[in-house]
Structure 1
Amino acid sequence: MDLVVKTLEGKDAGTLSVSDAIFGLEPREDLIARMVRYQLAKKRQGTHQTKTRAEISRTGKKMYKQKGTGRARHHSARAPQFRGGGRAHGPVTRSHAHDLPKKIRALALRHALSAKAKSETLIVLDNLVAAEAKTKVLVNAFAGLGLNNALFIGGAELDRNFKLAAQNIPNVDVLPVQGINVYDILRRNTLVLSKAAVEALEERFK
């Protein structure tokens, strides 16, 4: 399939032929959802924890004698049923990460790219280069392209001026092609790829 290439100023810069195996698939929501769940699970810190009765700093002395009071038989005040006692079956520090086959991860990325291409929210720019690190200039350029919520994927090395100018713009992310991922693609309305990024993706999935 062919994609129209534009410049940062919004002018046409020809077309680019891309592989249907990367940008022309019929998107599968189940694969994309599995990948998003995998990414978000890996991002979780898993540091939530409550204290059990063994960790509570409180006396372990028997509360009152076993018999003759007419009350229930209790021992330690650290038991979960008492105020100030430990928590029963509370959360513990753990990793939420789970495995997902490498082939499934690669396929999910291709389906995410195809989903953007199918919904016509994929733009290819000839390069992501700014003459100066001026946020205002870049905001005007994005407005001309109709971009207010976008993920920009550059080549292996990002242009320093473009990166600095874009980092202060809300709802705009800039990543090198090595950092492209399904979650970031889906969380922004528009995906913007440089020609270098497209070539790198073609090489990666060849």
Structure 2
Amino acid sequence: MEVDVLNMEGQKVSTVELPPAIFEALIDVDLMHQAHVRQLTNARLGTHDTKTRSEVSGGGRKPFKQKGTGRARQGSTRAPHWVGGGDIHTPHPHSYALAMPRKMRRAALCSALSAKASDSAIVVVDELKVSEPKTRLMAKALNTLVGDASALILIPAKEAYTDVIRSTQNIPDAKILMAGYLNVHDLLQFDKIVLPLSVLDVIQTNLG
């Protein structure tokens, strides 16, 4: 698939051939959904906790004698049916992690990238830069490149893109992401994918 390469002013400077194995792969909606669910599930901390009858305070002695009161026998006021007693069948810390083979994760990313490419949502720029770290400069460039659409901006590394990162932080419909951390959730969340030419090498190395 051949796409135009633009500069920051939105002018065409050349064309580039996107790797077909990544940007023209089979679009598998079920696989993308599985990868998306896995990513959101794995983000859960699983730190929720409730106290059982052995963890709540009190209840160290029998509340009243066994016989002669006319009441049902009780061994502790910390039993679950007592007010202030322990909880049963309630959450305790555990992992929500879901496993997914690496080949399936890569296939899901290729599927998501192919879906974006088929919708003409891939915007390639020759060089991603701003003259100074100003939000208005980046906002103007994004308005030229993607219009009113939300944008996921991929970069190969942080070091050379400090001004771009700072200029994008206050733009609500844009997000900077290192290409090495590319994921299905972010790909599907944004309307357009903006990437400099140098990012294509990183993506091809990781997914090719």
Same fold (TM over 0.5): yes
What amino acid is the match of 2:184?
V
Q: Give the 5 Å matches for 1:49-198.
A: 49-145=49-145, 146-157=147-158, 158-198=160-200
CA distance in 2, matches of 1:96, 1:131: 45
Asked if the contact 1:148–1:172 (Cα under 8 Å) also holds between the matched residues in 2, the reply is no
Partner Cα distance (1:127, 1:19) in 2: 19
Deviation for aligned residue 1:147: 4.4
Change (3 A) 1:147 1:8: farther
Q: Deviations over 1:65-86 (max 9, x none)?
A: 2233332222111111111111
Q: 2:186 & 2:5 partners in 1: Cα distance?
A: 22
* Partners of 1:130 and 1:159 within 8 A in 2: no
Partner of 1:100: helix, strand, or coil? coil
Return the offset for 1:103.
Answer: 0.9
How far did 1:105 drift?
1.0
Deviation for aligned residue 1:203 = 3.0
The answer on whether the counterparts of 2:125 and 2:195 sit within 8 Å (CA) in structure 1 is yes
State whether residues 180 and 206 of structure 2, in contact with CA within 8 Å, keep that contact through their aligned partners in structure 1: no
Which residues of structure 2 form unaligned runs of 5+? none
Q: Could you tell me how far apart the structure 1 residues matched to 2:125 and 2:72 are?
A: 75
Q: What number of residue pairs does the alignment pair up?
A: 206
User: 2:84 & 2:173 partners in 1: Cα distance?
Assistant: 45
After TM superposition, the structure 1 stretch with the greater mean CA deviation from structure 2, 85-94 or 11-20, is: 11-20
Identity of counterpart residues, as a percentage? 38
| TM-score calculated relative to the size of structure 2 | 0.92
Describe the superposition over 1:18-69 as per-residue Cα deviations: whole angstroms up to 9, x where unpaired: 1221011231111111111221122111110000100001122112222333
The aligned residue for residue 7 of structure 1 is: 7
Q: Distance in 2 between matches of 1:133 and 1:54?
A: 57
Partners of 1:101 and 1:43 in 2: CA distance: 18
Measure, in 1, the Cα distance between the counterparts of 2:2 and 2:35.
27
CA drift of 1:164 comes to 0.9
Q: Partners of 1:45 and 1:205 in 2: how far apart?
A: 28
Q: Per-residue CA shift, 1:72-109, capped at 9, x if unaligned?
A: 22211111111111110111111111211111111111
Instruction: Tell me the TM-score normalized by structure 1.
Output: 0.93
Q: For 1:108-137, what per-residue CA distance to the aligned partner results, in whole angstroms no more than 9, with x for missing partners?
A: 111111111122222111121111111111
